[in-house]
Chain A
């Protein structure tokens, strides 16, 4: 018999009907009476002083209600990273100088988009161009154009507000270095000396875009009491609310982030954006709602993209493939403002730590300012980059030593119970099973090295966190039992396509003995829902799901107490199931939940039943996110693992390639909804395929993105996709709800590397630079012949 009746089932998502009928409303669909439309004038230069801005003609245009420039927003700062060491450096509009093409110079609110557009053309800006730099290694050299002067804090960060001592000084920007990470365990030099084989390689990764199908947009409306109502795409309302509050100088309680459907996120809608602040700012100035929807070109060129990295990797192993020492050096191009440079530089390391036992490890990373657009999280945030390097090199090492790449991985992987150098403990770990199952299911050993028909097969593995201690540092949920025997869940987790609402409703239904149809979910609204770390830290199931489970359990306890009185039974002898509370082992001796709730209200002075639950993203004794600079501190309470096997066919003459098969074995603890988990694995598989094979935003010599359209930026289409097989490895994490862990971003980490290894297996060509285009395959082939 099944352990559970609702979780673990592939139930259809609860928002399916709304979405299939076009009834689901997204930010772009929001219209308010008297609404104005905003547009932003963006810089055509990558690095330039602003000498003069004249907005007078624009202001005179009929229908224009407000024009603002950097003079109006002077001193306002926001950013993804805002710590004592790395203060916020982003600004809504350029003040003194432009640092990337498309940086906002002025903004307009007008009665229509057309009028706003026309107003932009009437704004006169005088620029003085400055030398710009787009390559991070060039930017680090002495004499390179200086992008930032001193960056001073503009207020106390939430870290300080919440009690993190100010132990660090503000890091000075020298040689355009935005941040550094320096982490070591063991003695790496000694480790190399003791190695039988040492190899060094250089890898490079590409700039890619999230390409959420809904373009970024916002509707902001200030009311006369000074309260802001706002509709926008987000991945956790707390971050938007915090930064809107701080930049607008109003209490967070005066910012209401409304629940709205979100058309995809993939890491690209976490932090506050220029246009979101500006819509609110213009609304306050005009007293009318303001809507800004970015064009697709603006989404590509002005929002956020994945960090491109240069990775120098030196690895020493014993003859049998046992890792002895690893020295990693990452040069990260973080763009014109800090973005998440300091974070990704930590994450490259942190997402690697739970995978292979490495007795001697040295990791150094530099996030470097360039005149490129700002880089930020994108699904896997560092994992696809670092896995591409590590997993490619591990295959090269295995080949050099005549070892089986699967065996080399199995020999080095961590196991359940391992304690990582940062103190995190692997309370569940299915990495070995992932590798074994993916190998078996894909027929890896039979196909590997055969080069039959220019086909090749390759493997890579990945790991991901399941939430971390970041603002707002805690997550809560509430579950109200309704008089008709149903329940309403209130959670700050947010649905942006991944299936959060459905999975959380399943968790509540299981705990309460209800069906999925019995559970209504109110999520992602800052005024109706409890605080939550949000879903951008991959804690949607493990953390938010845990809070929902605890809240449902609390409601159930109260129902059992009422039922115990009525039935003359002991609470501990009762259970919930089939919409009833009944005596264990005697289903007939019980009452419907709808009766229990009514009895509670009538017999207990109107006592309604609302259960509450709360938890942190880590164990109770862990308060803060680890140090981005030293890597010290615990990171997450549960890691997910995956092994991906890719099979490709490559034409050695043209380099033309077809991805044929992808097998993913994924340890997400316990799949709350296997259908949704498969959807996440497949979506990551195809997004990873794009990352591996053809996606790349290309920057011109003057810093302009030359392919900001779906025609020129090649997103995988239906005819590109391989056959998929997804295998669930259940490891039942002891802390997760019903054993659940991260689902939505670990797998993509392994995909580009698995494809790179498959390409090598097919035609013996090792491409160390993403994307692996036909052109690069031929170029490497020609180089190899020289």
Chain B
């Protein structure tokens, strides 16, 4: 592994997991977010070697046995998806956030996703979807 290669590059081009998107390559848009040992990171800013021995969750690993994660369900139901390009990163940021804070306020959610840009939705329905998913998750029926 060349030391200069990013985690994003390896995920997309070696593993061919193209659910992780690239929007800027400079860590400003959050489109490439993956979860690294429980924390959301911009995979374009993480060197692949830094991920050695760590747990990496990409969007492809979120649904379990063809059952969508509650965030995936609520993003679809609430109209939080338009072009879909920011969606994988947005959902993973929200997942890492809800794992830490299962009972957030609207303001908490806004802060949590402030590093993820979306140009289509104006964020309104994304925030609604995350709050709705939090409710679902609190019921404890999801075992991911």
Contact = CB atoms under 8 A, between A and B. Distances in A.
Given A22-B20, A28-B22, A719-B110, A496 B83 contact: yes
Contact of A22 (B60, B109, B121): B60
B31 interface: yes
Interface in A1-52: 10, 12-13, 15-26, 28-29, 31
B140 to A, nearest CB: 22
Interface string B106-132: 000111011011111111111100000
Nearest to A717: B114
Contacts of B26: 296, 709-711
A497 B20 CA distance: 18
Contact of A264 (B76, B85, B122): B85
Contact of A215 (B18, B23, B75): B23
Contacts of A261: 83-84
Interface string A186-226: 00000000000000000000000011111100000000000
Contacts of A16: 75-76, 81
Nearest to B115: A717
A498 interface: yes
A24 B119 contact: no
A336 interface: no
B110 A213 contact: no
Contacts of A20: 68, 72, 75-76, 81, 84, 87, 91
Interface stretch (A140-148, A176-184, A597-605, A678-686): A678-686
A406 interface: no
B80 to A, nearest CB: 9
Given A13-B79, A26-B85, A710 B68 contact: no
B82 A498 contact: yes
A20 B82 CA distance: 10
Contacts of B79: 10, 12-13, 675-676, 678-679
B81 A682 contact: no
B23 A12 contact: no
Interface string A643-685: 0000000000000000000000000000000011011001111
Contacts of B116: 718
Given A22-B59, A709-B28, A718 B110 contact: yes
A31 B29 CA distance: 24
Interface residues on B, range: 35 or more
Nearest to A24: B84
Contacts of A498: 82
Nearest to B112: A718
Nearest to B84: A19
A587 B110 CA distance: 50
Given A20-B68, A685-B122, A717-B117, 9 more contacts: A17-B76, A20-B72, A20-B87, A21-B59, A214-B21, A264-B119, A679-B120, A682-B122, A717-B123
8 contacts: A13-B81, A213-B31, A497-B82, A499-B82, A678-B79, A682-B121, A716-B122, A717-B114
Interface of A: 10, 12-13, 15-26, 28-29, 31, 210-215, 261-266, 295-296, 496-499, 675-676, 678-679, 682-687, 709-711, 715-719, 721, 724
Closest 8 CB pairs of A and B: A22-B19, A497-B83, A19-B84, A263-B85, A686-B122, A22-B59, A16-B76, A710-B28
Interface of B: 16-26, 28-29, 31, 58-60, 62-63, 68, 72, 75-77, 79, 81-88, 91, 109-111, 113-114, 116-127
